[in-house]
């Protein structure tokens, strides 16, 4: 079972890329972020034609998340229970016997801003919710655009991306580590320990060509699924295509 996460940065623009990628990569489940589409505009009919059901929670202009699956999707949850939020950043659902939790984590803009405070409060709410979600669903995959690079291997320049910088600040990394301490394991790091493997490259300054990137798109597997995480990676190919998203898909394969 191949499960992937992809921040498409507008599904309206990226639908041809998604179609191409679904056809060649053949994922079983895909978590999308930044669809930037109201629900009535979501291309669910076109996706059925490609063999995928979908559930989604969108809004105009910003945010928006979805889960696509070849198999039936059950028990859909939108948002974090008990955390009022007008921003559509969370959708969870069950596929087979696996709970899929898709996050579009707050970017945070800059350390010390109101958006940064919102990011940390939002991550705290996710932590509280996931501790109970894991009890109810031990076989769980938490994936998405985390907008946090876990450690210095995951940034092209640790001098710039340091403990005072957004996406790499100590408080953000601590919040991510706290989530992982619930028993969630970075599937990529179960299989690779090298630096310089990124999932996002800034559109500016020819970031992709120069590999000036960060690894901020993660697939985390629960304790129960860890022995089944047979492979994980990042598919850079769609980032090479014409008019790409600034993110590449990150994936984990569950076996057995």
Which residues contact DNA by CB under 7 A? 9-10, 12-13, 36, 60-62, 106-107, 109-110, 115, 203-205, 243
> Could you say which of 17, 156, 185, 247 is catalytic?
247
Cβ burial of 124 (10 Å; 0-12, 13-18, 19+) is middle
- Active site includes 145? yes
CB of 104 to DNA, least distance (A): 9
Q: How far apart are CA 231 and CA 209, in angstroms?
A: 26
Q: How far apart are CA 243 and CA 228, in angstroms?
A: 35
Give 133 or 146: the residue with its C-beta nearer to DNA. 146
Give 132 or 205: the residue with its C-beta nearer to DNA. 205
> Could you say which of 28, 145, 186, 217 is catalytic?
145
Q: Are 190 and 229 in contact (CB under 8 A)?
A: yes
133 carries a ligand binding annotation: no
3-state secondary structure of 255: coil
Beta bridge partners of 32: 6, 66
Q: Are 75 and 67 in contact (CB under 8 A)?
A: no
12 carries a ligand binding annotation: no
Unique residue bearing structure tokens 């790499």: 168
152 carries a ligand binding annotation: no
Bridge-based pairing state of the strands 250-254 and 29-33:
unpaired
247 carries a ligand binding annotation: yes
Closest Cα to residue 167, out of 118, 111, 121, 219? Answer: 111
CB of 243 to DNA, least distance (A): 5
71 carries a ligand binding annotation: no
CB of 5 to DNA, least distance (A): 14
Give 62 or 211: the residue with its C-beta nearer to DNA. 62
Bridge-based pairing state of the strands 73-78 and 200-201:
unpaired
Q: Are 59 and 33 in contact (CB under 8 A)?
A: no
> Could you say which of 17, 104, 116, 154 is catalytic?
104
Give 95 or 198: the residue with its C-beta nearer to DNA. 198
CB of 192 to DNA, least distance (A): 24
246 carries a ligand binding annotation: yes
CB of 64 to DNA, least distance (A): 10
Q: What is the DSSP letter of 82?
A: T
Give 84 or 97: the residue with its C-beta nearer to DNA. 84
**Both structure tokens of 8:** 């498409």
Closest Cα to residue 215, out of 236, 243, 229? Answer: 236
Binding-site positions read: 7, 34, 145, 147, 246-247
Which residues belong to the annotated binding site for Mg(2+)?
7, 34, 145, 147, 246-247
Catalytic site positions: 104, 145, 247
């Amino acid at each position: 079972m191949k499960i992937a996460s992809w921040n498409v940065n507008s599904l309206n623009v990226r639908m041809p890329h998604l179609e191409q990628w679904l056809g060649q990569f053949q994922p079983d489940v895909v978590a999308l972020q930044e669809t930037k589409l109201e629900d009535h505009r979501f291309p669910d009919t076109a996706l059925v034609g490609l063999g995928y059901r979908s559930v989604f929670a969108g809004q105009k202009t910003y945010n928006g998340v979805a889960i696509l699956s070849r198999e039936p999707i059950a028990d859909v949850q939108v948002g974090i229970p008990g955390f009022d939020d007008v921003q559509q950043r969370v959708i969870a659902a069950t596929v087979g016997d696996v709970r899929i939790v898709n996050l579009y984590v707050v970017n945070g803009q800059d350390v010390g801003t109101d958006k940064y405070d919102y990011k940390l409060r939002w991550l705290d709410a996710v932590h509280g919710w996931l501790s109970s979600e894991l009890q109810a669903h031990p076989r769980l995959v938490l994936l998405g655009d985390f907008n946090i690079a876990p450690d210095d291997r995951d940034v092209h320049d640790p001098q710039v991306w340091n403990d005072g910088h957004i996406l790499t600040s100590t408080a953000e990394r601590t919040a991510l580590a706290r989530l992982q301490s619930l028993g969630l394991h970075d599937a990529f790091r179960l299989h690779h320990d090298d630096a310089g493997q990124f999932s996002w490259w800034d559109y500016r300054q020819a970031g992709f060509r120069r590999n000036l990137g960060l690894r901020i798109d993660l697939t985390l597997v629960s304790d129960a699924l860890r022995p089944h995480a047979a492979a994980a990676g990042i598919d850079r190919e769609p980032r090479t295509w014409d008019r790409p998203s600034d993110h590449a898909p990150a994936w984990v394969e569950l076996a057995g």
